[in-house]
């Protein structure tokens, strides 16, 4: 019937599960790193591959590392700046629950159609839950967009080099060897997911 067709289309085109998994895989499963080099005037004090690794949930202030001071054997202890864990965790949590909900809703659409249509309660509940999820998703994704831009700044090798005392001496050569790969954290997926929720609402109303 119509609802099965629409559900099938919905799953094919939009599959919120897919996007929720994607959100989890990209944000929740993220780990990345950057590499710097500090080439001191006195070469024996240099470190040409300082690796700094970080991962979800992006409590960057807990990511510590040691760099040469270029003044004897002494090292400078540093940490990255910031903490984006609350927005990252909220984003992933909403994605996981949206995934579980849409999975359950799909099962109900397909196997319990009569119950779903009874008194129109199914569509109403579905509509309300979907609106709530849409709202949470909007809040979560905009919070995470802010969190992500903080992460990008805090893990930019140029910014990290500014923290090092050795790099304030022009005679020491400080360089970024590589930057963290951020493409998989792109939030463009967010707007697509949101579109899918809108379609979900439309499906709920159209019956």
Ligand X SMILES: *[C@@H]1O[C@H](CO)[C@@H](O)[C@H](O)[C@H]1NC(C)=O
As given in the structure block, the two tokens for residue 82 are 């910031």
Please check whether residue 22 is in contact with residue 48, taking contact to mean a CB–CB distance below 8 angstroms: no
Residue nearer to ligand X on the CB measure, 35 or 194? 35
- Which residues are at the interface with ligand X (CB under 6 A)? 42, 44-45, 47, 50-51, 65, 72-73
In the complex, least distance from residue 122 CB atom to ligand X, rounded to whole angstroms: 56
In the complex, least distance from residue 68 CB atom to ligand X, rounded to whole angstroms: 7
Residue nearer to ligand X on the CB measure, 67 or 94? 67
In the complex, least distance from residue 88 CB atom to ligand X, rounded to whole angstroms: 24
Residue nearer to ligand X on the CB measure, 80 or 95? 80
From the centroid of its chain, how far is CA 148?
7
In the complex, least distance from residue 110 CB atom to ligand X, rounded to whole angstroms: 53
In the complex, least distance from residue 29 CB atom to ligand X, rounded to whole angstroms: 23
The full DSSP string for 75-86 is: EEEEE-----HH
Residue nearer to ligand X on the CB measure, 37 or 113? 37
Please check whether residue 67 is in contact with residue 164, taking contact to mean a CB–CB distance below 8 angstroms: yes
Residue nearer to ligand X on the CB measure, 17 or 46? 46
CA pair distance 120, 192, nearest whole angstrom: 28
Q: Which residue has the tokens 């979800």?
A: 56
What is the three-class DSSP state of 95? Answer: helix
Q: Which residue has the tokens 């984003």?
A: 91
């Amino acid at each position: 019937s119509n609802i099965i067709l629409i559900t099938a289309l919905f799953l094919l085109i939009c599959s919120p599960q897919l996007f929720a998994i994607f959100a989890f895989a990209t944000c929740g499963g993220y780990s990345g790193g950057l590499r710097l080099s500090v080439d001191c005037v006195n070469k024996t004090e240099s470190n040409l591959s300082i690796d700094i690794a970080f991962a979800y949930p992006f409590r960057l202030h807990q990511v510590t590392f040691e760099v040469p001071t270029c003044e004897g054997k002494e090292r400078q202890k540093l940490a990255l700046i910031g903490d984006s864990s609350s927005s990252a965790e909220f984003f992933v949590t909403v994605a996981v629950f949206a995934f579980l909900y849409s999975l359950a809703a799909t099962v109900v659409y397909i196997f319990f159609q009569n119950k779903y249509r009874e008194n129109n309660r199914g569509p109403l509940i579905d509509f309300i839950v979907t609106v709530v999820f849409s709202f949470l998703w909007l809040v979560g994704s905009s919070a995470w967009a802010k969190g992500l831009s903080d992460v990008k700044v805090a893990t930019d090798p140029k910014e990290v080099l500014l923290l090092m005392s050795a790099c304030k001496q022009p005679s020491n050569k400080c360089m970024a060897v590589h930057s963290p790969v951020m493409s998989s954290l792109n939030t463009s997926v967010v707007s697509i997911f949101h579109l899918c929720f809108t379609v979900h609402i439309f499906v709920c109303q159209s019956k």
